[in-house]
Amino acid sequence: MLVNIMLESTKVTPAITMLIEEGLVEIAGESYPENSVEFYQPIFDWLDAYIAEEKRYLTVNFKLTYFNTSSSKCLMDILDTLQSYHNVSEQVEVNWYYQEEDEDMLESGTEFAEDLDMTFKLVAYR
Amino acid sequence: MTFEHLFLQYQQMTQFKILMSFKGVFAQPALVEMGNTIRNSLGNESVKATVMKKIFAIFIELSQNILHYSAEKELDLDGRESGVGLLIVSDNGDRYCVSSGNLISNDDVERIGGQCQAVIDASRDDLKEMYNRRRKGERPAESKGAGLGLIDMARKSDYPLEYEIRPFNEKYSFFMLSSYISKGSE
């Protein structure tokens, strides 16, 4: 059964919030675990279940400040899943937050956006 | 350890302006601590934020390379296997250098050398294209990050990556990989 997920951030993993009623997913912090696939697996599973069972609008907020390359691959996999959901439902909104002067995270967001065809907003914050 | 050995180490670390060096088991908790040390020590030295971020990112990729792919492994008490290697961060005048050294299997020499050379030969645009295409694709069996680490390091470096592989014994070779970040890096 689908349940809300609320994980606090650690030094190497982001905070994860996945709320069913609100249709909200948030991934915030830094991501460089030893095994990214293992860390992100529950997130893939939650998304698959939400898409299959809830079929409702989903807002996904990324607020990352650093991620390693194996996390980057997992983020792409998440975005691919969201893209597939968007293609059949048009019910996905992705917001990519980056600190105002963080060129790295702006560029990362821009490059993810280039690979996608759905609402993907780049949002600067202070 | 004799006085001479210790003093020689002291002289070499001074001569090569070594900011940090570690030889041993690259278990995840240890490399996280080293990463923090780099952030804190460079943060105190008025290093530009963009430069520090690049050094940190390259340090993490190189350390996790050692952790996952060094042919020399050590088991901890919980039975977890981590790779053994050497990592050095040094100040080379107008640039910082992050270098790693570890054993690789002789069977992997051609593959790893080929991957390094392909990344060195690629233009900035090629690297971006390679990175985004690999990230979209399936993970290769031998890789945890779809082989993205090397490409990402090349993109973050301000100078071409440098590598060298020399025979160690009948089973292993020693693999060195270096990345340079300009002190004025944007």
pLDDT tens-digit series, residues B87-142 = 999 999 999 999 999 999 999 999 999 999 999 999 999 999 999 999 988 776 66
Q: Which of B155, B166, B167, B162 is nearest to B179 (CA)?
A: B162
Average pLDDT over residues B24-47: 89
Domains of chain B (ranges; CATH) run 3-182 (3.30.565.10)
Span A65-90, mean pLDDT?
Answer: 96
* pTM of the predicted structure, to 2 decimals: 0.94
Domain hosting A110: range is: 5-125
Give the CA count within 13 Å in the CB-facing half-sphere of B104. 22
Confidence of residue B76 (pLDDT cuts 50, 70, 90): confident
Instruction: Count, in order, helices (H) and strands (E) of chain A.
Output: 3, 6
Asked if B60 and A32 come within 8 Å (Cβ–Cβ), the reply is: yes
Residue A76: what pLDDT? 96
ipTM: 0.93
pLDDT value for B138: 74
**Cα A84 → chain centroid:** 14
* Residue A11, min C-alpha distance to chain B (Å): 8
CB contact under 8 A, A35 and B64: no
Query: Residues of A with CB below 8 A from B56's CB?
Result: 66
Are B123 and B130 a contacting pair, CB within 8 Å? no
* B132's tokens: 């985004």
CB pairs under 8 A between A and B: 60
Which residues in chain B touch residue A33, judged by CB atoms under 8 angstroms apart?
28
Query: Hey, CA dihedral for B37, B43, B49, B50, is it positive or negative?
Result: negative
Tokens (6 digits) for A58:
């989903």
Residue whose pair of structure tokens reads 């609100």 in the numeric block: A22
Q: What confidence score (pLDDT) does residue B145 get? A: 54
Q: Which of A22-31, B136-145, B164-173 has the lowest mean pLDDT?
A: B136-145
The total domain count for chain A is 1
| Cα–Cα distance for residue pair A68/B24, rounded to 1 Å | 22
At A44-54, the pLDDT tens digits run: 999 999 999 98
3-state class of B107 per DSSP? helix
User: What percentage of chain B has pLDDT greater than the value 90?
Assistant: 82
